[in-house]
Amino acid sequence: MKRQKHKSNKNKKSMIICFSIFMSIYLGGSAYFINHFHFGTKINGINVTGKTVKQADELISSSISIYVLELQGRDGKNEEIKGTNIALTYNPKDKITNLKDSQNPLSWITSIFSNSHTKFDELVKFDETLLKEQINKLSYFDSKNIVKPKNAGFNYIDDAYEIEKEVMGNKIIKKNLYENIKSSFLKGDTLLNLGDTNSYENPKYITNSNEVLEAKKLLDKYTSMKITYTFGSKQETADGSIINKWLETDENMNVVFNEKKMISYITSLAREYNTFGNAIDFLSSSGKTIQVNGGNYGWLIDKTKEVKDLIEIIKNGQDVTKEPAYSQTAVSHDKNDIGNTYLEIDMTKQHVWFYKNGALVTEGDVVTGNLNNNCETPVGVCRLNYKERKATLKGKNYSAPVNFWLPFNGNIGLHDASWRDKFGGEIYKTSGSHGCVNAPYELANKIFDNIESGTPVVCYYEK
């Protein structure tokens, strides 16, 4: 029993000694950490364990004196800005002191098993004017090296569209770069990746953007169709190889139509198939072939309307066979487009013939425009504008009521002339009309009853 009691007393004495040592260390440590930072304390990546505020200030300040910010740009174009070039100086204010004051000296022992990494912004100050000067010197602003960003686009190759990859470019947004560099200095960062920030002007749409994929679908739809134009027995076809030239995308990746290019295509059709005002080789009633120039007759494509029609057809996405929109039509698409129903006026013979479906309906002598006072009836192939009964023709110094009015070239037309008792011969040379074709009542009546608006009227002098 005495031996056990002696052992127990010895153990208690050892524990008291250990506790006393621990308390001495703990209290000594607590006294030390009243003025020193805990274990594992880092400020902006700098280890200040066991440092006083003054020592920490000196350590941080010395790192700032050699501070360099590295800029990592696209295409391996890297730059750097040194703190010394922008008058970068240590300016902690009360931040370091407040951090030290926040550490309880009595809890120093727990810091052995943990780390305290503190990131302070704005531990420094610098000259903003100098910073702007340094930024202006960066190679990123050399116009010879700047590549502008470009949206993903489209190429029509082998009857299909391919997406053209976007160009990221390297054009800097100067305002953003300045703010990012300024922020890096204030945060104490040593690396700024320009591609990971908003420092670059980037393309709005890239290869896998939904807008790009949707635009491709629409472009493929539009170019998969075929438009067949008919011109009598002849045809012209516009398929994807032509339609793709009319299609573009706007700044919002909407598919739009280039109407100028569409007009150009329709113009090429018009050059080939318009006959408006063209000279024709006309087989006259006397059996001679006469070339007749001028007038307002013939096929005339309405380019503006046809472009609008085309756009709607393409949007619909279905193959079509059609005639173009015409502002004026003719009887036939044959070389002789006047057909076999027409009014023929031979101003040399002062005679007219009216044929309907190839058969002569009527003919007779007339009086045309006065040659002596330059009022001759114009040569050309025209179309009958309309027909009117009981009209009054008015001009300078005259007003003449007529029973049958058939205008075909502006204010010039064929009508009865009750004031004349003779027709034909050479009356027209000195006593002709103001430009119209004067006909006897019966002749004018017969023509009026059988002719329709739009009928060709061929006026010529036989040489």
Catalytic residue annotation: 415, 436
* Rounded Cα–Cα distance for residues 299 and 328 (Å): 6
Strand partners, 167: 150
* Cα–Cα nearest to 207, from 216, 199, 198: 216
**What's the CA gap between 235 and 230, in Å, rounded?**
5
- Is there a contact between 265 and 247 (Cβ–Cβ < 8 Å)? no
Q: Which residues, 6+ apart, have CB-to-CB distance to 365 below 8 Å?
A: 350, 351, 423, 424, 425, 440
Q: Residue 214 in contact with residue 93, Cβ under 8 Å?
A: no
Is residue 246 within 8 Å of 263, Cβ to Cβ?
Answer: no
Residue with tokens 């009521």: 401
Structure tokens at 210: 């939904």
CB 191 within 8 A of CB 70: yes
- Structure-token match 């006065």, residue found: 370
d(CA 277, CA 294): 5
The letter for the amino acid at 36 is H
Give the C-alpha separation, 358 to 344, whole Å.
Answer: 12
The terminus-to-terminus CA distance of the chain in angstroms comes to 162
